[in-house]
A and B are shown apart, each in its own frame.
Chain A
C-alpha cells in the first residue's frame, strides 16, 4: 500500500509527477513564463504547418511509411546493415542500454581515448551513456548549446528538442560566469552564445572521437541523417578520427525519397522552422576516419509485439506533443523524471519500467491535443488511457484509489445505491461543509465546492414530468 505524502493526499510519493509538478507550481510567475515560451513555439509550428496546404496528407503519408517500417523492421535493418557495411561503416547491435554503453566504451578504450564530444542524442540520454562513461573516467562534452547548459548545471534535459527551455537567460549568464568565466551580470544571449562557442571550440579541436545521434537511417543506401541547428554534430565529426552514431532501431526508413516527407515535417513540428539548419548525410567514413553505428533495441522489440503500444515507435522526436501539452507546459520537463518528458515520454517510459513510471500516464487530462499535433499520427492520448488500464491491472495503483473506485463502481451499477449515495452526498455538502471542505480535500484547496441543490434532476423529473404523464393517463 502506498501512503499519501506531501500537500496532496492523492499524490502517492514525494517524487511522482504530481508532487514534482506541485513544486514547480510554487513559483507561479515561472510557470507562466514556461507556459508562454512553449506556447509561442506551438504557435510558430501552427504558422509553419499552415504554409503547407497538404500538411494533413503529409502526416498521413509519414504515418503510413512508419507503419510499413514497423511491419518490416527486420528486413529494413538487415538491408541497412548490409549497405552500411559495404560503405565501410562498422555496424554494432545492442540489445539493451548496458550493451550499448559497453560497445561505445570498448571503441573508446581500444583507441585509448578519454574525452569525447557528443551532439544531441536522446538515445544516449535513455541509456545514461554520460553517467556510464563518467564511471570509466571518460569526459563527455555535450556540444549542443542547450545540452551543454544543462550539463554544466548537472541536470538532465527538460525537453528533447529544447533541453534548457526551463532556464532563463539571466540564470544562464550566472551559470556561465561560474563555469566559463564570463563577466557576472552579463546575460546578453549573443554574448553568451559567443562565449559558449569559444569554450566548445577548444573541445572540438582536442577531441579525437565524436558521438552523434541519428534522426533517420536509410535502408536503401546504408546512410544516416543527423539534423541540427548549430552544426555541432558536423564540426565534431569532421574534426575527429572516430565517429560513433547511436540509434534506436525504429529510426530506419526504407528509401532516400522518404526523407523528404520527414524532413518537411520534423523541423516544422519541432520549432516552426521550414527545415533544420543542417540535415547532414553520413554515408561512408572519409579517408583515415573510422565510422561506427550502434543499433539499439532496449525494449523496442518487445514494444513492437504489443498491438496497443507499438505505434509509439513511430516517434521522430520532434517534441511537438510537449509544446502543445497544457500539462507539460505547466509542470516542466523534470516532473516526468524520465529522459523523454511530456506525453510521448509518458507512453514510452512505462514500457521500460512500469513500476517506476506508473504515475506518468495519469499526468494528463486526455485532452487529445498531442495526438492531433503529432506529425506521424501516434494515438498518444489513447495510449495514455490504455496504459492506465494496464498499470491498474498490474497492481501499480495505490490501495486507497483502488478501494475508492470499487466503491464508485458499486454505486454506479445500482440505481438504488446511487440514489441513496447521491442524496447523502448532497446532504453532506449542504449541511456539513467543513467535513468536505477541509485541507485534505484537494478540490477545495483552491476551488469552491459546487453548491448543493435541493433536489436532483431525477427527483425534479419525478415531480414535474411523471405527474403530468400520470394525469394524462388518468
Chain B
C-alpha cells in the first residue's frame, strides 16, 4: 500500500510539527508513506472566496503530485473535503476522480483503513476536542448534533486510546469556531466572537489543551488564546497520537 502525505500549505508554512507528527505516526504504524515534494495547496482559499474558476492550474498541479497512490492522507478535514468535493480537471478528469475517491483525513484513515485498535501514546492532560465542521459534517468524521441519529466520533475514539488523556465534555459539542477561511478577516468581528465563545466553552471545563483535526481552526483559536494570555494551548490530534512512545 503506497500512501502519499498531503500537507496543507498553512501546516507546511506555520505548523511543520503537525506534518512531522503525522508522518512519524504513519511510519510507526508501518505505512509506506512518502511526501510528494512539489505539492502546494488544495485551492480551497480561492474556491471558497468565489474564485473556483481560477483553480484550474492549481488542481492540475495537485493531480500531477498525487496521481498513482493507493491513498492520499492529510491531517486536515477541511482540505480533504475540498479535494473530495471540488477537484476537477479539463484534461485529467479520470485521475481527478480517482484522487477524489482516495483522499482521506488522518483519523478516518487510521480507523477505517488501518483498523487501528491501539495507540501507544501518553498525554497526561485535560483535553477538549474541537470538531471542525468540514471534517465532521462534510466527511462525517463524527455525528452532528443536528441529526436524530446514533452518535459516534472518530477523533474521540482515537483520543480515548491515549493513556492519561482526560477528554472534557462541552456545552456545544459541534459549534463552528468562526475561522471559515477568508471569513476570519472578511467578517472579523463575528469570527473573533465565535472563537472567543468556543474557547470559553473549553476553558469552563478546565481544558489544558484544545485539539482537533484542522490546524486552521486551531490557528484561529490559538491567536485568540494568546491575545487573552490564556494558559490553554492548542495541539493537533496527530501530535497527541504521536506522543510518548
Within the assembled complex, what's the spacing in Å between the Cα atoms of A169 and B181? 37
Scan A25-64; emit 1 where CB is below 8 A from any B CB, else 0: 1001001000100010000001001101101100000000
Q: Complex formed: what's the CA distance from A391 to B52 in Å?
A: 12
Q: B15 an interface residue at 8 Å Cβ cutoff? A: yes
Task: Please report whether the interface of chain B is mostly helix, strand, loop or mixed according to DSSP.
Answer: helix
List, in ascending order, chain B residues with CB within 8 A of A35's CB. Answer: 197
B226 and A448 within 8 A (CB): yes
User: Is A409 positioned at the interface, with any CB of B under 8 Å from its CB?
Assistant: yes
B111 sits at the interface (CB 8 A): no
Q: Interface-forming stretch among B96-104, B114-122, B171-179, B203-211?
A: B171-179
Bound: A397/B49 CA distance, A: 9
Cβ–Cβ contact B138 & A363, under 8 A = no
Is A385's CB under 8 angstroms from B45's CB?
no
Asked if A330 contacts B40 (CB within 8 A), the reply is no
Stretch from A84-92, A145-153, A160-168, A450-458 contacting the other chain: A450-458
Q: Does B161 touch A at the CB level, under 8 Å?
A: no
0 or 1 for each of B83-96: is its CB under 8 Å from A? (1 = yes): 00000000000000
A22 interface residue (CB < 8 Å to B) = yes
Q: Interface extent on B, as a size class?
A: 35 or more
When distances are taken between beta carbons in the complex, the residues of chain B under 8 Å from A365 are 133, 176, 178-181, 183, 191, 194
The reply to whether the CB of A18 lies closer than 8 angstroms to some CB of chain B is yes
CB distance from B132 to the nearest CB of A (A): 9
State A405–B224 Cα separation when bound (angstroms): 26
Q: Is the CB of A330 within 8 A of B190?
A: yes
Once the chains bind, are A414 and B61 in contact (CB under 8 Å)? Answer: yes
Query: A17 at the A/B interface (Cβ < 8 Å)?
Result: yes
Compute how far the CA of A255 lies from the CA of B144 in the bound complex, rounded to whole angstroms.
33
Q: Is the CB of A18 within 8 A of B189?
A: yes
Q: Which residues of chain B are near A451, meaning CB under 8 Å? A: 14
A124 to B174 CA separation, bound complex (whole angstroms): 36
Q: Is A425 at the interface (CB under 8 A from chain B)?
A: yes
Tell me the smallest distance from the CB of B231 to a CB of chain A, in Å. Answer: 15
Q: Give the size range of A's interface with the partner.
A: 35 or more
Residue of B nearest to A39 (CB): B172
Q: Return the contact of B12 from the options A330, A371, A456 (Cβ within 8 A).
A: A456
- Contact of A415 with B38 in the complex, beta carbons under 8 Å: yes
Chain B nearest CB from A398 CB (Å) reads: 10
A362 x B13 contact (CB < 8 A): no
Given the complex of chains A and B, what is the CA–CA distance between A10 and B190 in angstroms? 13
Q: Which of B61, B147, B187, B227 has the most CB of A within 10 A?
A: B187
Smallest CB separation, B107 vs chain A (Å): 18
For the complex with contacts A415-B38, A418-B40, 9 further pairs of A-B residues with Cβ separation under 8 Å are: A22-B188, A326-B176, A368-B133, A369-B137, A409-B58, A442-B184, A442-B185, A443-B185, A460-B16
Can you report 8 A-B residue pairs in the complex whose CB atoms are below 8 A from each other?
A21-B190, A363-B190, A369-B176, A397-B50, A415-B40, A446-B188, A453-B14, A456-B12
